[in-house]
Amino acid sequence: MSRLRFYQFAVVAGFVLLLEGLCLAGVIDKVTMPPPHIIVRDLFRMIIAGRYFADIGKSLANVLLAFSSAYIFGVVAGTILHGYKTARDVLDPLFATYYAIPVFAFYPLFIVIFGLGDGPQVLIGFLLAVVAVIVTTLNGLDRVPLVLKKTAQVNGLNPLQTALRITLPFCAPYLLTAAKLALAYAFIGVIGSEFIMARSGMGYEISYAYTNFDNATMYPLILLILLFSIAANSLLSHWESVLLARRGQK
Amino acid sequence: MMLKETNAPFRNTVILIVGLFLFWELAYLIVGEVALRSPLETVEFLGKLMRTDVFWLHLADSMKAFAAALAIAVALGLLIGFALGLHRLSGDAIEPMLVALYSIPKITLYPIILLAFGIGISAKIAFGAIHGVIPVALFTLSAVRNIKPILIKTGRVLKLSPPVMVRAILFPAAVPEIFTGLRVGFSLTLIGTVLGEMFAAQRGLGYLLMNAISLYNIDLIMSVTFLLVLFAATVNALLLAIDRRLHHG
């Protein structure tokens, strides 16, 4: 395991050093990209000065809103849908095709309908995330052993009790996977929408900085977004593997 | 009974499509002409749009960028996937990193690509390709890993050289899962290309879409969105059918 970690560290470090070298040697010119150490320095300066805190807060709040609404709606919808085979069969082609559809293409339409506020961005994040949650919830519920369901029946639990005390706890690893996917999609949806067209938010600030050739703002903000999403992803992945290991599935 | 079984997926798809159109019509009746068009109006406008030359220029530009991006994503994805799948330690180390990269909002990297390639078709191609390459690589990696060890041992016993090994044993054995990767890669490359066009482009369907917002041209927004969804869904349904046949055939 430690050998693996070392290898991973070496790959990342090698990549950063390569970029640093290319930038310093002038192969990548200053207008295209400042050297990595300058980006990190600018990021620290930005944080100390407290610049863009309002934008960062707004983006994160919208991501959280899109994530939590998609997650709650998705788990509830998945649980209900699991009981209705016909409805599920009808929706199955939709689920299979859903992620092939460029959801961002609906963004202009949403702007026309809801105006250029937070609504369209949260909606895009929600739409990207929700189907992954439904599909993963269904997937988990399919794997609940028959014996557990029978135990619930023998004990006379009603459907709500069965869901809360038997099936959903059994599905915990799947629900965690669903959370991981939903968070990633909510992030992509909200930041992406801000980037395409918005009036504030991290994505907007990046595109604004791009139009003004303001690399000292653009690169630190990009780095910050990458750090946010990678941190969230690795945290949830780690938790997921701990949960799976406890069940002896990995 | 047999007939009923095979007809069920088809019937479900028809019900779903009819249901989606009803939902659209209903939304139109509620929201009204201010912001939406009915399915019929949208199709009519699309027909009108298709008789203009400008539309075909935009479509051709999008398709050219998409085809090039897809070719790069597939070639590079297969290469990375095979290399990592065959070397255990590299695969174990890099797979989680690829998964993490997959989950980042790649659109924030677009300014970097624009600075590196300049505004134009090459930036779109690069952006489409970085969307598609990771799923192709990840699926190929897992496909190569899940090949039965006995097949690889047979190859070793026969003293096959690495290229022959890939061509004669690894590739045929991994094809079903690789195909799934290609299907996902196809969709994501399309999304990436259109997304690239929606920000800083002068041509293509994505540009047409963004231009329509500033003109408040709802007909144009709806028909281009409809066309994109129709194209993505149709191709994906076809690929999915092949995919399922490969997995069960």
Specify the CATH number for the domain of residue B91. 1.10.3720.10
Q: Which of A16, A104, A193, A194 to mutate to test the interface with B (most CBs of B within 10 A)?
A: A104
Residues B104 and B177 placed together within one structural domain of the fold: yes
Residues B166 and B59 in one domain: yes
Q: Does the complex come out with an ipTM higher than 0.85?
A: no
pLDDT at A130 over 90: yes
Residues B187 and B97 in one domain: yes
Q: Are A108 and B209 in contact (CB under 8 A)?
A: yes
Is B210 close to A108, i.e. CB distance below 8 A? Answer: yes
Task: Please tell me the predicted confidence (pLDDT) of residue A248.
Answer: 67
Q: What is the pLDDT of residue A249?
A: 57
Residues B103 and B20 in one domain: no
Determine contact: B242 vs chain A, CB below 8 A: no
Q: pTM for this structure? A: 0.86
Over the stretch A227-248, which tens digit does the pLDDT of each residue have?
988 888 888 888 888 887 887 6
Same domain, B17 and B135: no
The answer on B115 and B200 residing in a single domain is: yes
Q: Is residue B62 part of a domain?
A: yes
Residues of A in contact with B104 (CB under 8 A): 187-188, 225-226, 229-230
How many CB atoms within 10 Å of residue A39? 21
* Residue B93 forms part of a structural domain: yes
Min CA distance, A5 vs chain B (Å)?
7
Q: Tell how far CA B73 is from the center of its chain.
A: 10
Instruction: Return the half-sphere exposure (C-beta side, CA atoms, 13 A cut-off) of residue A107.
Output: 31
Please give the mean pLDDT across all residues of chain A: 88
pLDDT > 70? residue A146: yes
Same domain (yes/no): B151, B225: yes
How confident is the model at residue B5, as a pLDDT? 52
Q: Is residue B43 part of a domain?
A: no
How many domains does one find in chain B? 2
A113: CB partners within 8 A, 6+ apart: A120, B31, B35, B36
Q: Is residue B153 part of a domain?
A: yes
Topology of domain A38-246, CATH: MetI-like fold (1.10.3720)
Q: Which residue range(s) make up the domain with B239?
A: 49-248
Q: Are residues B192 and B237 in the same domain?
A: yes
> Is residue B10 situated within a structural domain?
yes
Same-domain pairing of B19 and B117: no
Residues B114, A210: C-beta atoms closer than 8 Å? yes
Same domain assignment for residues B32 and B53 = no
Ordered by start, the domain boundaries in chain A are 38-246
Domain annotation covers residue B190: yes
Using 50, 70 and 90 to split pLDDT, how confident is the model at A250?
very low
Residue B184 inside a domain? The answer is yes
A22 vs A32: CA distance, rounded Å: 12
B86 and B120, same domain (yes or no): yes
Distance from CA of B131 to the nearest CA of A (A): 12
Provide block-wise average pLDDT over 10 residues at a time, chain B (249 residues). 59 89 92 86 93 92 95 95 87 87 86 86 93 93 88 89 85 88 92 87 88 86 91 90 83
What is the rounded average pLDDT of the residues A120-137? 94
Instruction: Mutation target for B interface from A196, A202, A230: give the one with most B CBs within 10 A.
Output: A196
Q: Which residue among B16, B191, B221 sits closest to A108, beta carbon to beta carbon?
A: B221
Residue B166 distance to chain A (closest CA, Å): 26
State residue B1's pLDDT score.
40
For residue B45, what pLDDT is reported?
93
- Chain B residues lying within 8 Å of A89, measured CB to CB: 8-9, 12
- Answer yes or no: is B44 within a domain: no
Region A117-121 average pLDDT: 91
The pLDDT value given to residue B249? 62
Q: Is the pLDDT of residue A1 over 70?
A: no
* Cα–Cα distance measured from residue B10 to residue B55, given in angstroms and rounded to the nearest whole number: 33
Answer yes or no: are the C-beta atoms of A210 and B114 closer than 8 Å.
Answer: yes
What is the rounded average pLDDT of the residues A131-146?
91
